[in-house]
Each structure stands twice: as structure tokens, then as C-alpha cells.
Amino acid sequence: MTITETNPRLVDAVATALRPVYPPVVAADGASITLADGRTVTDLAGQTLNLPLGQGLPSILGAAVAQAQAVQFASSRFGTEPFLALSRRLADLAPEGMNAVILKLTNGSDAVETAIKIAWLHTRRTRIGHLPGAWHGESFLTLGLATTHRGRLLAADGHVAAESAEISALARLVLSRQDLAGVIVDPAMVSNGLPADGIEQLRRDLAALRRACDATGTLLIFDEIQTFGGWLGSALFASEWAWVRPDLICLGKALGGGFPLAAVVCRTEMAAVLQYNDAEFTYGGHPVACAAALAALDELGRLRDGLDDRATMMADLLRVMFPAGSFEVRQVGLIATVAPRATRLREVWTARLAAACMQAGLFVRPTDHGRRLILKPPLVLPAGELAGALAEIGRHARDVQSGLRRVRPAQDAGRVAAHELAGWLLRRPARPDRIAEPAVRRLCAADPGLTVVAREPSVQEELSRRLRAVGVPAVALYAAPGRDAVDYDYLPGRTLRDVLADPDTDDALLNGLTLRAYEALVTAHDQGILVGICNPGRMIVTGRGDLRLVDLELGCVGPTSAVTLVEETSLVVDLLAAIPPGHPIGDSLSRRLLAAVADRHNHADLLVVWERLRGYYGDTAASGDPLASPAIYTRLLASAIASLRPIKS
């Protein structure tokens, strides 16, 4: 009996943003994992891209158990033998001159944040340069480096993104300003899908970045969290593989051999800027994790001489399984990414291929914001099994690609019968002469100076790209022309309006989704992007509780301040109206959201808009909203006006 069969409500007790996609892992050995539903799956992604040696290696487990039996934990006032031994080992292995190891860390976010602290303290500057679309962690400082993640709204300000996701652009950024404490880059660009122009060009670009940093007193930080541990072949450190020595190196993921551990390696004078408790996490450098890491380094030492040959073998297999005429394969050491040559439907291809592979018992992951499939098969997976797994992935890749060739542009969907729409895209663009819906009438009532225009597919695609670039999860649902155009297929989920109106939606999810919907619109406005008509019916909630803005066909034209005020007000009242009357947190959400809108706008302008909207609903016999009556909107707006007037006076 599985966990969820024993208690179906147990998953609801997971009080984080996590929504597991698959059943829990109950056993693992090497590259094989067993799920609670009885399936056995071959791991071709190193789980969270962090297990080059797979799971259950006797030497690593033995070292961890022995250490736990000897010393379970020790304060940093004492230290432990594995901690000191691992520090010495990493200093010996690191590039020449980088003989200081900061090891009291637990994960990659700790390591990157510590490197940023060192860069700030060493240079006395406070800005960090980075590539757009990269990923360096989930702590307060590191989320600010993630330009495409909603955490950017929450994170520390002061980071500066290059103009494009190319290392040459990062070098230009460094040379153009004198206030960068450091620049951080994954030298293999794993999160960006690996180097698009080949390894030799990457090495030249990194060398140019090194020269730019030297010329401006900027520290060069290598995020080697995804590459350390054998993934690059015989080169343990990416700096050794890239022929460029950074000032600081961040390590994590594979370092602990499956246990939580991270480190920063740098020159002694840089580490000296830290004082006690500047980078001293309670469970960082845990003795069990350090013992496991030492055993993992021993295993890598035994495998190291054969890793380059294994990378060559993997390259030969990939060439056969993914023909160059149909697929683009990028490879760095024992990491590979794959995408179809045609850019159309790449995200759909990746998502469907990952699902098909999982059905076949092969675990793979998307990367590069869903545009490519990443393969990181554990180094311990036997060559024959690796060949068989890659062959099966190749078959599924071709099958998915063949199916997508039958998906036609959404503009043509009106010419087929309803039962034939399964392989088609969601909608067709609206015709400007057919724009007549309650949301449009309401918008014009709120501010007669605004007009609504229909956006063509190419404009919607460009808008969705701009929104995603600032961390707003938007999806264009139409075919669009251009080299980078993408058609998105059906989004499995429900509209946010349906989720909010469902009495079975738990309080936590209702609260989180409502606030995230408002946050998405505010983030766009703060970046100077006007979304247009946006309501809970134009947002999709997927099975993992993720939110996506869809249906960007109707835009607003008018003064920016007026448009943002009306868009935010309209969204908030729609969100609140969708929540069932009397809901326990409805009043709390109403107070918080209305106060948030009031805090962002001129109160006199806000009162005018709210009064107009209240009059609109008072004069309207039917709002056209299937889930809320005009009376609900009238009460909401009356409450909002009453709360605002005392503030104004």
C-alpha cells in the first residue's frame, strides 16, 4: 500500500510550494529508483542534477554510517576530522593559488550567497553582474540573479543583468561600468542549455571575461554547482576544463555524494574578509556529509581516467540516436541537451518527451526554460544500459516530433470539427470587430479615456516573452511567426476563477494563488509592461499549483498611470468576487489587496475609478460573470471606498 493510499490527504500537508509530480521514491540503487506505486525508473538526470555516482554506493554509505556512529554532530567551536580533511582535500584539488575553503555551508544557494558576500567585502562594491535567464539559487541574495523567476520581485536589489544570455555580453557589461563587485557565471552554461556556439568559442569568451574583470577590479565567480563531480569528464573543476581561473568557485550538489553540503573555494586573502558567523550555517560542513564527500572524491579518483572515454562514447550514441538533420545536440563532458531543429513547438516537444520517457520508465528533465531536454546519466550506469536508454529516448523524441508536425497554427482551428481539435492549439485570435465582452465594457466605464485593442498573434508572443523575462509566467496560446516563435499546446489545469470559487479549495492555496495573481500583474507594471484585460478567467492553475497568464489578446491604450490603476483594480475585484461569500479568509484578503492597490496609486484617482465601477455595477442588470452577481462587486467597491476615504481625509 502506498503512502497516498494510506492517507490521501497526506500530500496536502506539504506546506511548501512543492507539488510532487510523481509518487514518492521508496528505494534507490545506482541509477535505478523505485516509486511508491511499484514502478522502477532509470534516472538519467542525476535526480536534481546532483548524483553523478548514483545512489546506494557502498563506500559512500559506509563512510556516512561510520561517521554518524562516531560523531553525529559537533559545534564549529570544535570542528570534526572529516570537515578538516575535506577542506584540505579540496584545497589540494583546486586550481593553483585557490587554497582557502569555506565549507560550513549546506547547499548551492549558501555557496553563491557566501561568494557574493566575499565579493562585496573584498571590493567594497555592492553590485553583481550576471547573465539573464541563469539560475544561481533560492536564497534572498541569489533570487535577485534570476531574471526570469518570480523571486526577483522578493529578492535583494542591486544585481545587474547583461543584455543577452551570452558570456561576451557579460564581458561588455563589466567593461561598461566600474561599480561591479563581481560577476557570476556557470562556465558550462548548463541552465542555458550548454554553449550554443561550441566549447572553443566559450573558452575564448571566458578568457575575454577574465581580462575584463582584471581591467576593472571585478571578481570573477564561477558557479560550478552543476558541473563539479565528474560531469565534465576528467576535469574535476570547470576552470580546469575552461582554461580560465576565476577568483571564487562555488561548489554544491555532487560535492556531498548525496548528502547536503556546499563550499566556496578562493584565495586566502579573500576568505579573510569573513568573520565568524558571516558564513557559518548550523548544519553546514556536517560531519556525515563531509565523510560522504571524502568517499565520493575517492570514487571519482578511481573513475576519473575513464570519464573522457565515456564522454566520447556518449557523444557517439547521441549522434546516432538524435540525427543532426532533425535535432540539435549540445554536449559538455557527460552532460548533454537536446532540442528539435525546428524552433516551433520546442517547449511542447520537451514537455511531451519528458512525459513519454517517464511512462517508459526513464526519468529526464527539461532545461533552458523548458526549451531543451537535459541528460545527465549517472557515471555508474553501465554502458549497455546507457546505450539502451538513449536509444529509447531517441525513439520517443522522434515520435513526439512526428506528432507535433500535425499540429497546425491556431488561426486555422475554426475550419475543423470540434472532435478534431485535440492536437490543435487552444484558441484563435479575436477579430477587432468582435470585441464586446463585459470586461471591455467595464474597463471603458472605469475610465472612458481608455480604449481596448486586439493583439495579433506575433504581438501576443512578444508580450509573453517580455513578461517571462521579468518573472511573470505568461503563455501565448497562438501560432506566431518568427525564428523564435513558439506554439503552446493545451495547459492541463483549471482557470483561477474556478479554483477560487471551488469550496473544496483549501485556505492556503486560495490565499497563495490570489496573492500571486496580483503579484504577477504588479510585477509587469513595475517593469513598464501593460498586460491588458487580465482576470482570473485568463489565468490557468496547473496540477502543481503553478499559475500561468494566458489569453493576452486584448490590450489597453491610454496614459500608463490610468491603465495600471484600472488593470490592478479590475483584477483585484474579480479575484475577490470569485471567492465564495463568507469564506474564512475572504475578508482578510480583501483588506490586504485593497490596501495594496491604495498604496500604489493616487487616492483621488482611485476614488474616481472605484466610484465609476460601483455605478457601473449598480446600473447593470447582469454583469456577464457566471460566478458573481453585480451585487457582490457593488459591496466590494463600497467597502473599498469606505476604507479609502478616511485615509484621504
Supply angle C-alpha 208, 209, 214, rounded to 5: 100
Q: What is the pLDDT of residue 143?
A: 78
**269: Cβ contacts below 8 Å, ≥ 6 apart:** 122
Please give the pLDDT value at position 645.
64
Query: How many CB atoms neighbour CB 76 within 10 A?
Result: 15
Strand intervals (E) in 284-380: 327-332, 335-340, 362-363, 365-367, 372-375
Q: What is the pLDDT of residue 140?
A: 78
Helix (H, G, I), strand (E, B) or coil at 191: coil
> Between 560-578 and 603-619, two packed helices, what is the crossing angle to 10 degrees?
50
Distance CA 290, CA 539 (A): 46
Chain centre to alpha carbon of residue 217: 31
Instruction: Classify the C-alpha dihedral 225-231-233-236 as positive or negative.
Output: positive
Q: What is the per-residue pLDDT for 30? A: 95
Burial of 201 (0-12, 13-18, 19+ CB in 10 A): middle
**Cβ atoms within 10 Å, residue 397:** 24
| Average pLDDT of the segment spanning 112-132 | 92
Question: Which range has the worst mean pLDDT, 136-140, 280-284, 346-350, 404-408?
Answer: 404-408
Q: Where are the domains of the chain?
A: 3-55+305-404, 58-300, 437-648
- Distance linking the first and last C-alpha atoms of the chain: 64
Per the DSSP assignment, residues forming a β-bridge with 367 are 372
Are residues 397 and 348 in contact, defined by beta-carbon separation less than 8 angstroms?
Answer: no
- Residues 159-194 have pLDDT tens digits of 888 888 899 999 999 999 889 999 999 999 998 899
Q: What is the mean pLDDT of residues 596-614?
A: 91
**How far apart (Å, rounded) are the C-alpha atoms in residues 250 and 264?**
5
pLDDT at residue number 4: 38
Measured CA to CA, the distance from residue 363 to residue 275 in angstroms comes to 43
Enter the C-alpha cell of residue 284: 553546514
Q: Which CATH superfamily is domain 3-55+305-404 in?
A: Aspartate Aminotransferase, domain 1 (3.90.1150.10)
pLDDT at site 481: 47
pLDDT at 434 over 80: no
pLDDT one-digit tens code per residue, 440-449 = 778 888 888 8
Tell me the average pLDDT across 428-434. Answer: 48
Q: The whole model's pTM is what?
A: 0.81
Grid coordinates representing 395 are 525513439
CA distance 583 to 499: 13
> For residue 29, is pLDDT > 90?
yes
What's the mean pLDDT in 216-232? Answer: 96
C-alpha cell at 119: 565579493
Count of CB atoms situated within 10 Å of the CB of 325: 6
Residue 236 CA to residue 229 CA, distance in Å, equals: 6
pLDDT tens-place string over residues 369-415: 888 999 999 999 999 999 999 999 999 999 988 877 655 444 443 44
CATH of region 58-300, choose from 1.10.150.20, 3.40.50.720, 3.40.640.10, 2.40.100.10: 3.40.640.10
Contacts of 348 (CB under 8 A, 6+ apart): 404, 407, 486, 487, 488, 489
Q: Measure the CA–CA gap between 553 and 455, rounded to whole angstroms.
A: 5
23 pLDDT exceeds 60?
yes
SS3 399: helix
Q: In whole numbers, what is the pLDDT of the chain averaged over residues?
A: 85
pLDDT of residue 537: 87
The answer, yes or no, to whether residue 621 has pLDDT greater than 50, is no
Using CA atoms, how far residue 86 sits from 80, 267, 413, in Å, is: 10, 17, 61
Q: Using the predicted structure, report yes or no on whether residue 60 has a pLDDT greater than 60.
A: yes
Q: Is 333 left (phi over 0), alpha (psi -120 to 50) or beta?
A: left
pLDDT band at 476 (very low <50, low <70, confident <90, very high): confident
Q: How many residues does the chain have?
A: 649
Give yes or no for a contact between 418 and 581, defined as CB atoms under 8 angstroms apart: no
590's grid cell:
480583501
- The stretches of 217-286 forming alpha helices (DSSP H) are 238-242, 268-271
Secondary structure of residue 257 in the 3-state scheme:
coil
Q: What is the mean pLDDT of residues 495-502?
A: 89
Q: Print burial letters for 29-38: b (CB count within 10 Å at least 16), e (below 16).
A: ebbbbebbee
Q: How far is CA 291 from CA 69, 253, 298, 526, in A?
A: 12, 15, 11, 48
Least confident of 224-238, 349-363, 477-491, 575-589: 477-491
